[in-house]
Each structure stands twice: as structure tokens, then as C-alpha cells.
Amino acid sequence: MGIKKFIAAVMESLGLDEFENTGKKKSVKRLLEKLKARKVILSRVSKKDLDKKKKKELKEELAIITIQIKKGEKILAALNHTQDPAISKNKKEK
């Protein structure tokens, strides 16, 4: 998954209308922080008060956020390894 697609997917799932897209690395870090905060909020929801449908929705949302966090950490690790993966690929092709 590309960085732009990841940012768009996370913004959609978190319901963010406006998000300052300064730099790839910084944007991914901030989105990861928001995803982790959202995961903490969802994990603290009292499951006893919810009906089956709400519990299922909560589990699905937690699963989606967990997957997005893993993808974001993978992208961030790639960005830390090389500043711009597209540029490093172009250099190898020459």
C-alpha cells in the first residue's frame, strides 16, 4: 500500500475532514498516534452494555484499526530506512 493510499484510508476511517499533509514521515507518525489513541478508546468501551450487533461492529473496527497500525508502522519503517523509496528504486534501475 502506498503512502498516499494509507493516509487516505486512515483519514476516512478516523473521519478526519482536514489533515495537514506536511511530510510523509511526519504525516504517518501523526496518523499512527491518532490510530493508537482511537484503539485505546475503543478498547475501553464497556462491552457489557452493548448488544450483539454493537459488539460485532466494535470488534470489526478494532481489527481494522489494528491492521492500519501495522501497515503504518511498516510504511514508517520503510521511510526511516530510506528517505524516499521511489527515489531509491530509480537509482537501482540505472
Q: Is the pLDDT of residue 94 over 80?
A: no
Confidence of residue 92 (pLDDT cuts 50, 70, 90): very low
DSSP structure class, residue 40: H
Higher per-residue pLDDT: 35 or 16: 35
- What residues contact residue 1 under an 8 Å CB cut-off, 6+ apart? 9, 71, 75
User: For residue 32, is pLDDT > 50?
Assistant: yes
- What is the predicted pLDDT for the residue at 19? 59
